[in-house]
Amino acid sequence: MKRIVITGMGAITPIGNTLNQFWEGLRNGTNGIDHITIFDASHHKTTFAGEIKNLKFEDHFPKPDIRKMDRHTLFALIAVEEAFINSKIDLTNLDLSKCGVIWGSAIGGMKTFEDEIANYYSHPQKPSFSPYFIPKIIPDIVSGLVAIKYGFLGVNFAAVSACASSTHSIIAAYQNIKLGKANLIIAGGSEAAITPSGIGGFNAFKGLSQKNDDPKKASRPFDINRDGFVVGEGAGAIILEDLEHAQARNATIIAEITGTGMTCDAYHITASHPAGLGAYLAFKEALMEAGLNIGEIDYINAHATSTQLGDISEMKAINMLVEESKTQVDFLISSTKSMTGHLLGAAGAIELIASLLSMKNNIIPATINTQEIDPEIPLKNAICLHKFTPKTVKNIASLNFGFGGHNAAIVATDYL
């Protein structure tokens, strides 16, 4: 059976615009949440988010190209380029027909859609749309553009499953390589939903925190006073390869993906199953494929968005596996969303990267902002709070869930 390894990563996040900056942000407990500057949010119920900072697209792209791409696409291409460089890929030595791209985004080109519709309604008698309108908004445009840039002729599509999108893109890449459909795939996700309709829409169903007087403490997973998630933006890119293919080109191997799981709650369009049933089944499936029990996991990067129901149901799911295992459990749990906010369709890729960096550095990033853990949450002593914790990390799990009841879990192991 083919073994699938990770050989490259790239990240652009609210706490760092490169992989190294992201890790420093995680290690230092940097808070990436602040009042929105991208648009005037003063009339919204929520006025803050996790924006990308100190980034000029002109430093990465010619100005004509910037006009042809939505913000989420620009983020994606920056992250992919970093992963590509880190992986030291030599295109001249690849079979490009066996190289692919699978990308995830929950929403795609929301800002472009808003701008184009606003322009239409301001001149309804003389409708005018950009020729790039449709290509800029569709979620699969990233996978197409990445393939065009690198000449990858293999498997290519988008994964869309709300906040599990990039996790599903990585799992799909893993499966396609395992089946022999590809030797190398770039996978990940990007999102840029800090827009009037993005913030307004999430506010409409009471999903967002409204701690406008203290935004830096708003993303507080597991806390008894949590009141909703914080929208973040950015991208995470991961390069997966068949182990033999990676070894043949002398690639540096970061980790091996050993197990994956995908399920559905079949319960509600936005709320997670109250007992965490779907999350439990997804994590259990990933552990079984990896040949591990939960007692052998060292770090779990939880989806934990800082919502009342979601944080509890996820921890119940993990606790069910603990109770079943009948083994000593020594893992730590944290939610890096406390620092970055919730990157929606990009969350899974960014959080898997955070987990792999934790493995590489043997440090568990903290859950910041959380002051008092909700008494309904089990496994309280496993939650890493306030400051990073040094710990030997050999096996990690990254969990992500999306509206519609989508659940996805990835288990990865330090490559030996």
| Contacts for 330 with CB less than 8 Å, ≥ 6 apart | 295, 298
Q: Which pLDDT score, from 0 to 100, does residue 251 have?
A: 96
- Can you give the residue ranges of every domain in the chain? 4-248, 259-413
Least confident of 77-81, 157-161, 205-209: 205-209
Reported as a single tens digit per residue, the pLDDT across 275-300 is 999 999 999 999 999 999 999 999 99
Whether the per-residue pLDDT at 257 is higher than 90: the answer is: yes
What is the structure's pLDDT at 152?
A: 98
Determine the Cα–Cα distance for residues 86 and 95; give it in Å rounded to an integer: 19
Q: Are 195 and 114 in contact (CB under 8 A)?
A: yes
pLDDT at 125: 80
What is the three-class DSSP state of 164? coil
How far is residue 344's CA from residue 58's CA, in Å, rounded to a whole number? Answer: 25
Residue with the two structure tokens 């073994």:
3
pLDDT at residue 61 greater than cutoff 80: yes
Query: Is 259-413 the same fold as 4-248?
Result: yes
What pLDDT band is residue 142 in, cutting at 50, 70 and 90? very high
As a whole number of angstroms, the distance between CA 258 and CA 174 comes to 10
Based on the residue annotation, tell me whether 43 is a catalytic residue of this protein: no
18/13 Cα distance (integer angstroms): 8
| Each residue's pLDDT tens digit, 377-401 | 999 999 999 999 999 999 999 999 9
Q: What is the DSSP secondary-structure string of 268-280?
A: -SSSPPTT-HHHH
* Residue 228 pLDDT: 96
Q: Average model confidence (pLDDT) for the chain?
A: 96
DSSP character string of 18-84:
SHHHHHHHHHHT----EE--SS--TTSS--EEB---S--GGGTS-HHHHHTS-HHHHHHHHHHHHHH
- Predicted pLDDT of residue 192: 98
Identity of the residue numbered 372: E
Phi, then psi, of 254 in degrees rounded to 5: -85, -45
Q: pLDDT per residue over 305-318, tens digit each?
A: 999 999 999 999 99
Name the active-site residue from 44, 72, 99, 163.
163
What dotted CATH number matches 4-248? 3.40.47.10
Considering 245, 273, 303, 406, which one is annotated as catalytic? 303
The tens digit of pLDDT for each residue in 397-407 reads 999 999 999 99
**Domain at 259-413: CATH architecture:** 3-Layer(aba) Sandwich (3.40)
* pLDDT band (50, 70, 90) for residue 328: confident
Question: What is the strand order of the sheet 299-301 is part of?
Answer: 156-159, 99-104, 184-191, 234-242, 4-12, 255-264, 406-413, 395-402, 299-301, 332-334
pLDDT digits (tens, 9 = 90+) for 8-25: 999 999 999 999 999 999
Mean pLDDT along residues 163-181: 98
Q: Catalytic annotation on 72?
A: no
pLDDT at residue 320 in the model: 96
Integer CA distances (angstroms), 188 to 137, 160, 328, 399, in order: 18, 11, 34, 15
183: pLDDT strictly greater than 80: yes
On the question of pLDDT at 416 being above 80, the answer is: no
| pLDDT-above-90 percentage for the chain | 94
Tell me how far apart the 2 most distant CA atoms of the chain are, in Å.
70
Question: Is residue 264 flagged as an active site residue?
Answer: no
369/408 Cα distance (integer angstroms): 26
